[in-house]
Chain A
């Protein structure tokens, strides 16, 4: 009996201790400070004028938005708006706003603030990069207060993915004397020492609470230190001077994994892709026979099938990448066409394809129908080690089918000049950084009239039947709100691109991050910001050891 009583008492003490521990974990942590680095000073604190990574970080940490994309589930969730509804024709959206919310300076949040923000956002004089995403067609967007806590925003033309775009619109105060420094997000800018650091402090008026009713965020302050050198950033992480690195390359990741495996995170395949393409511009200053090679689907597919993508992923990205399939990464769960598979590494098949086009292999040299030896150059940006390595590997792969490839590294402005203005290049190897899930964000790549239609930009009418089909499909998906129909159209575009290979997709890199063991509740994801997307629910352990 005594033993049972003792056990019960011990159990009670243990439960009490655990409860105390968990209470300390979920309550706001007075004096706690999360530290990480920015590569440069933010260029602006105005959330509507954000165009650089550092400003985007500050906007994410300080800005309050109507709806937020949950980076883990890739689904929209309510924030300052408790409900929202997009009109049937897709050109209007109505929001029901959360009540009893205040800006960081104490000013109440009202529907007038939403109207003010939208009017500023859509003001052509402001040239807001965030506002550009909403501009479909001529005309003026209007925001109207339609009820006590209701706002309706109407656009001149339907906007595809309208609700998702509000993830980047931080609401500003119409009345606060502190203008953009009055915020609705979890933190506000308390101190800014240019070139050195930026200190964000916990917003005392932040509206959000956790499941137990505790005020969020848990961490008291965020210190963003300006540090350009990635080696020093790594050193500071391992010394415990900073708590996270949002994005790592494969080499640093492996080094960290060897040194401190609990800090290294591979969140899976990212939305970014590395790709190469041939110059198919009719007016390009290239010999006619080379233009004929590059315009041939068989030639492009043969080159594609001669490249060992598995090796690129294994060697250049040390296994932290996977062979790319399409212009949409498998990391984009909804829009990726899962029916597609990477092009196989098949040099015999490639030679068969080339033979169909009149190419023949003679003494180890591939020659076209007229006897020209197949040789071309590939340009990439100087200083990007991964791309230079990929180019060297592609050079050896193509030598296997008798193609001589010359690798040329150029400084970035010269490269851009060649691929966008003079078109004086033969092939190019570059990467596409993508942080938008909606394929609509790539309209400027896939429409044949677009300037970023890199292989043959600014076409007055589509040069090929398949480009005309892509134009029609991309326009169709951009003007319908039926998600299933959009998915069908986008899948078809992915299939056409897979067959024609105007872009030869090489690899999709993994999202790699580093998080100190003292940071708890971190779940790095592929969408930006990879590590601190749930900043208001991160907390810091005092010991810094143990589990993630």
Chain B
């Protein structure tokens, strides 16, 4: 399966590169409305046609990929760091600290995510530019998405606490920050990396769900989620198969992340 992993990595690199070079590759601005050409089919001018407001779909896909692919890893990094701090501390310290932190984690896990996001989003200031709005959305996802990862990290840290490595380190006089930096964190690194890679597609899909509800990225900025809203009317599929482009890209990218993740797990 080595070739599949390599292909996945190449695909992800190509998608990242295309999204970063959107300014050069896109034939038009993602916001420009060609009002004489709403809902146009693919043409040499508009490779994936135009949306219902006449905006070039190909340009929007490139810029939307940039938004989703840059901000989802950032949110994943934030949630993984929170999970490492909270779960790692709880597992390593054990006792009442672990019980309290795990109870709090269970509470966070039991919260209805979607309603919580809708509520928090509604409380935010209104007059923020679209780019800030999308950053806030992903920051919220990152801040609220640590709980499941924290449980995994906590279990690993608990196992590590009683392991020979830590006993030996303690016996040789290591303690406090040195023990944490030299022995605990390096041993938790594989599980943290796995959680990071898993979170990326989860956040991409969550943003897509929020966008389908009209609560994700603000107009006119595109994201994969907002592009997927065009698929709400299932009866148009057969007539306009090019509408599937963002869905195909999303599925391919998420699949490639999973293939890449398998490689990382092998390293662990």
Contact = CB atoms under 8 A, between A and B. Distances in A.
A212 interface: no
B14 interface: no
Contact of B220 (A384, A392, A411): A392
B43 interface: no
A255 B235 contact: yes
Contacts of A315: 35, 38, 52-54
A395 B220 contact: yes
A384 B234 CA distance: 17
B214 to A, nearest CB: 3
Interface string A401-435: 00000111111001000000000111000000000
B54 to A, nearest CB: 7
Contacts of B219: 388, 391-392, 395, 407
B245 interface: no
B220 A375 contact: no
A389 B38 CA distance: 12
A389 B35 CA distance: 12
Contacts of A424: 126
B235 A377 contact: no
Interface of A: 231, 234-235, 251, 255, 311, 315-316, 375-377, 379, 382-385, 388-389, 391-393, 395-396, 406-411, 414, 424-426
Given A375-B127, A393-B53, A231 B118 contact: no
B215 A382 contact: yes
A407 B53 contact: no
A376 B214 contact: no
Given A235-B235, A375-B127, A393 B33 contact: yes
B126 A377 contact: yes
A231 B233 CA distance: 7
B129 interface: yes
B249 interface: no
Nearest to B35: A311
Contacts of A406: 126-130, 133, 218
Interface string B117-133: 01101100011111001
Contacts of B235: 231, 234-235, 255
A411 B235 CA distance: 26
A420 to B, nearest CB: 14
Contacts of A426: 126-127
Contacts of B54: 315
B40 to A, nearest CB: 12
A411 B123 CA distance: 11
B126 A408 contact: yes
A392 B53 contact: yes
A414 B218 contact: no
A407 B218 contact: yes
B31 interface: yes
B23 interface: no
Chain A CB within 10 Å, residue with most, of B33, B133, B229, B236: B33
B213 interface: yes
Nearest to B124: A408
A382 B31 contact: no
Contacts of B118: 411, 414
Contacts of A388: 214, 219
Given A385-B229, A393-B53, 5 more contacts: A315-B53, A316-B52, A382-B215, A409-B218, A414-B119
Contacts of A411: 118, 122, 215
Interface in B1-48: 31-33, 35, 38
Give 10 closest A-B pairs by Cβ, nearest first.
Answer: A382-B214, A414-B122, A377-B126, A407-B219, A392-B219, A409-B214, A377-B127, A383-B214, A408-B126, A315-B38
Contacts of A379: 126
A435 B66 CA distance: 46
B107 to A, nearest CB: 23
9 contacts: A231-B234, A231-B235, A315-B53, A383-B214, A384-B214, A388-B214, A396-B220, A410-B122, A411-B118
Contacts of A234: 235
A12 to B, nearest CB: 51
A393 B52 CA distance: 11
Contacts of B214: 382-385, 388, 409
Contacts of B215: 382, 409-411
A255 B235 CA distance: 9
Contacts of A311: 35
Contacts of A251: 233
B4 to A, nearest CB: 37
A392 B222 CA distance: 12
